[in-house]
Amino acid sequence: MTKVNIKNIGVFTSGGDSPGMNAAIRAVVRTGLFHDIKVTGILRGYDGMISGEFLPMERKSVANIIQRGGTVLKTARSEEFRSKEGRVKAYEQLKKNGIDALVAIGGDGTFTGANIFHEEFNIPILGLAGTIDNDLQGTDYTIGYDTAINTVIDAVDKIRDTAESHDRLFIVEVMGRDSGLIALRSGIGSGAEAILIPETKTDINALLKRLEISRKDKSSKIIIVAEGDDAGGGFEIAKIVKEKFPSIDTRVSILGHIQRGGSPSCMDRVLASRLGVAAVESLLEGRTSEMIGIVNGKIHFTPFSSAIKHNKDVNSELLKIVDILSL
């Protein structure tokens, strides 16, 4: 296959950070150098692209980062890049520094910007799915999702210890403003009595009935609720439960941003490495304006326009499992 003449690839992370982003950066840098191509790190996402915050990357630049959470290139959400003027500044900075292709690591907002940028300036861009929410079409798993759900599992296991000791009900709120995939898998994995997610309408009466049945049989109870659930977050659900069952010792735990941090799991490190290698080699093959993911264990390409704003359907089998195992 004929290779495209690319001399300098810019790599950046944008939007919310996720564990495994550093592994992806490392893979992009080392694959580029393997193919005798320069790789330039762009600090602070699109904002850094606009202001020209560029860092030449060498092998040593990415040494000892595969195990680190967060992103060594930093990240930001850029209001200026939303304007045509901001994108013109970004393109001029890329030209000035000889960057002729991009690898964007992020989620929905990152790829929305990348899609517009490619349409306006025709610069080759490929995206790596990096978000803890796992809510992008075109990949079975996103970079950071596996680590995030394991972080939730670890936290809920600890919470259950104190719930068991005090005969308490804990309502644990996890991240997921638009997607309940963190709540769904971590809820099944932690043995939650109920899981409330944005994708399905919450039946409060059914929830209260389930608690009524289980309160005599179980000394501890855990409800996992995604922050974007239609019935409200953790405190709102707790208020409803307390009104119905004032005798139940009900507590709320908001896990918050601990779900984004921490050392990435082996699964996320391998996923990020596979996607990073594929990004560089696919740019050299002439691919552009696509998100790279993994579907059924194989590298898969999805146009940015299809990957963005298309949240995944919830697996009906997992919903069935929740109902069966929460008895």
At 182-208, the pLDDT tens digits run 999 999 999 999 999 999 999 999 999
Domains of the chain: 8-144+264-307 (3.40.50.450), 147-259 (3.40.50.460)
At 92-139, the pLDDT tens digits run 999 999 999 999 999 999 999 999 999 999 999 999 999 999 999 999
| pLDDT exceeds 70 at position 2 | no
Instruction: Please identify which residue in the block is written with the tokens 């939730």.
Output: 152
Tokens of 291: 């998100």
* pLDDT value of residue 215: 64
Tokens of 5: 């003449």
The rounded distance, in Å, linking the Cα atoms of 61 and 207 is 51
Distances (CA, A) of 272 to 94, 110, 145, 268: 25, 17, 11, 6
| pLDDT exceeds 60 at position 152 | yes
Does the annotation count 133 as an active-site position? Answer: yes
| pLDDT exceeds 80 at position 288 | yes
At 310-323, the pLDDT tens digits run 566 778 888 888 87
Assign residue 110 a region: left if phi > 0, alpha if psi is -120 to 50, beta otherwise? alpha
* pLDDT value of residue 1: 44
Edge-to-edge, what's the strand order for the sheet holding 298-303? 54-57, 38-42, 8-13, 101-106, 125-129, 290-295, 298-303
The rounded distance, in Å, linking the Cα atoms of 104 and 114 is 7
Residue 290 has a CB neighbour count (10 Å cut-off) of 24
The rounded mean pLDDT for the chain is 93
| pLDDT exceeds 80 at position 305 | yes
Mean pLDDT throughout 153-174? 94
- State the catalytic residue, choosing from 47, 100, 133, 135: 133
The rounded distance, in Å, linking the Cα atoms of 128 and 107 is 8
Instruction: Please identify which residue in the block is written with the tokens 């904002």.
Output: 47
